[in-house]
Chain A
Amino acid sequence: MEIINAKNMDQRVLCDLIKKERHLDIEIRSCCGQRYIGCGMKKANIYIIGTPGNALGAFLDGASIKVDGNAEDAVGDTMNRGSIYIDGSVGDAAGYAMRGGKIFIHKSAGYRAGVNMKAYKETSPLLVIGGTAGSFLGEYLAGGTIVVLGLGEKKNAPLTGYFCGNGMYNGKIYLRTTERPIGLSKHLLLNKVSQEEKEMVLRPIIEEFAEAFNEDANEILKSDFIAVEPDPENRYRELYAAI
């Protein structure tokens, strides 16, 4: 285990230090705003204490990142493989355009989480949000899975903001509520998740979430889930825009 004290450290210096590090286990302390940590890395387990800056784990390609604290915007931007665990909340555009790997967020995500995520060949990205998500969750979703748990929210509260899944044409958004997302587009289908799908699809995801953040998977799985998917009979055929 290599420990790096990042207090007052320039972002370039920090990123170079991490990339040149021979140890696979790296702990970064007093992190405050340094961008691009772990960018494109294939191998390493990075543990961060503090507040990492924008584009944490961008283009991540197999490494694992864990944060004790909140992260800023664009966590896992365009990531390919690997995993990111945030024991806190994240800013806007988490998982933007990711096409593989997993992101687990213990608390809430800002606007545009999972915007334009896509599946590619055998890879399919996963984004799990423990709290609530802002508007434009999964906008233009082209593949992969988004799960929002609403932990700590009132039972059956809306877990998303406006324009949930707008423009999506593939992939699936699971919400741990029975409340229909506000103003859901007519191009999207909303279904109750069956017991079988819950066990097959959601259980392994939620067990990993619970393991990472010390939550109770069975308790979380007791609740009803709904799922948002594109309507195959009524796909988006043109750009949509709000006015």
Chain B
Amino acid sequence: MREGEVRIPSGCAIAGVFARDGRKINGRTIKDSIQIMHERSNGLGGGFAGYGIYPQYREYYAMHIFYDDMLAREECERFLDSCFDIINLSKIPTRANPNITDAPLIWRYFVTPLPHRLSDSHLDEEEYVVRSVIKLNNTIKGCYVFSCGKNMGVFKAVGYPEDVADFYRLDEYDGYAWTAHGRYPTNTPGWWGGSHPFALLDLSVVHNGEISSYDANRRAVEMYGYSCNLLTDTEVITYILDFLKRRIHLTLEEASNVIAAPFWNTISLKGEEEGRRLAYLRKMFSEFLITGPFSILVGFTGGMMALNDRLKLRSLVVGEKGRTVYFASEEAAIRIIEPELDSIRSPRGGEPVIVHLDEGVKA
């Protein structure tokens, strides 16, 4: 049975590294970090998101696409040709790895919307791209766009994350930020599209946990034009954050107060102004409250956010050394790549940790 027909609760490993000074970090670093948490995954999914990895194509949307067969590819490329100017296309380079099998066709396209199609659509550019991607994923059988941001890319597969990094030759990519995921799905087979990160435009999410409120959240985002065609819980977090951040223009901190809203009795302990703010967000966006255990890392252009559920039912540590910030499910995953840290701490449940590039540093 394919994932997507059954919901996946998962317990996993996450890791992230972010250079505030924009220094380029090789993909090998994030592989070394996630690899130490091998025991947290079971080989049914691993993935990475890198930011700043395509500087030569920074103006173009980088579409990473899985195809089941050539037919799906032809159909997809016909669609892309009708909506976008394709600047470059190629297979994503891979390296044979004995532990990575049954790979789909994996292609990458650098595209920009066709100007007349964009203006006819009366949409802004990002919404145009989002709708095109949702349409592709919904209508073309055997085609799945798993990454579509600018100057960033998602790389994911079925396998342990260290093998996935090797398969995608991540040592040939350098970026100012990376996230990683090792997957442990507990009741369904893994498939390539079901691995993390889940991304829309430049926003990507890796997630350790299980969303109890999944169906309520899914119904809510589907009212706003999103389509949960993978039916994995993490996918819905990506769409919620895209909606709150890009379309409603909430700050990331406000979005955190929505998805990990404090308990009413905790809100009552806050001061009047803060209490009113938190109550407003919880009431206004109640259908986006995510219950159940989670720790997530959210990557976006120029920044990264880490967040736990309000009960903090999953582990998450944040370390700093100079201008570099490290995130991981376990401290060991940080120590292995940076033994001497300036600081290390565990954020509280529902407390977002948000980092940005230093002023003047170009994403």
Q: Are the CB atoms of B315 and A135 closer together than 8 Å? A: no
User: Which of A47-55, A188-196, A214-222, A227-235 interfaces with chain B?
Assistant: A47-55
Interface size class of A (residues with CB under 8 A): 20 to 34
With known contacts A182-B269, A242-B265, A134–B346 Cβ distance under 8 A: yes
What 3 pairs across the A-B complex have the smallest Cβ distances? A33-B332, A242-B263, A111-B312
Q: Are the CB atoms of B349 and A111 closer together than 8 Å? A: yes
- What B residues does A116 contact at CB under 8 A? none
- Does B81 interact with chain A (Cβ within 8 Å)? no
With known contacts A110-B346, A135-B348, A92–B332 Cβ distance under 8 A: no
Q: Which of B37, B39, B312, B335 contacts A51 (CB 8 A)?
A: B335
Interface residues of A in 97-122 (CB under 8 A from B): 110-111
- Does B233 interact with chain A (Cβ within 8 Å)? no
Interface residues of A in 195-243 (CB under 8 A from B): 242-243
Tally of contacts, chain A with chain B, CB under 8 A: 64
Alpha-carbon separation in the docked complex, A110 to B315 (Å):
9
Q: How far is the CB of B189 from chain A (nearest CB, A)?
A: 26
Q: Are the CB atoms of B331 and A51 closer together than 8 Å? A: yes
Q: Are the CB atoms of A33 and B263 closer together than 8 Å? A: no
Q: Which of A50, A91, A243 contacts B264 (CB 8 A)?
A: A243
Q: Are the CB atoms of B335 and A32 closer together than 8 Å? A: yes
With known contacts A32-B336, A33-B336, A72-B330, A91–B266 Cβ distance under 8 A: no
Nearest B-chain residue to A7, judged by Cβ: B336
Q: Write out, one digit per residue, whether chain B residues 326-338 have a CB within 8 A of any chain A CB (1) or not (0).
A: 0000111101100
Nearest B-chain residue to A54, judged by Cβ: B330
- Does B317 interact with chain A (Cβ within 8 Å)? yes
Q: Write out, one digit per residue, whether chain A residues 25-62 have a CB within 8 A of any chain B CB (1) or not (0).
A: 00000001101000000000000001101100000000
Q: How far is the CB of A86 from chain B (nearest CB, A)?
A: 12
Q: Are the CB atoms of B346 and A91 closer together than 8 Å? A: yes
Alpha-carbon separation in the docked complex, A53 to B329 (Å):
11
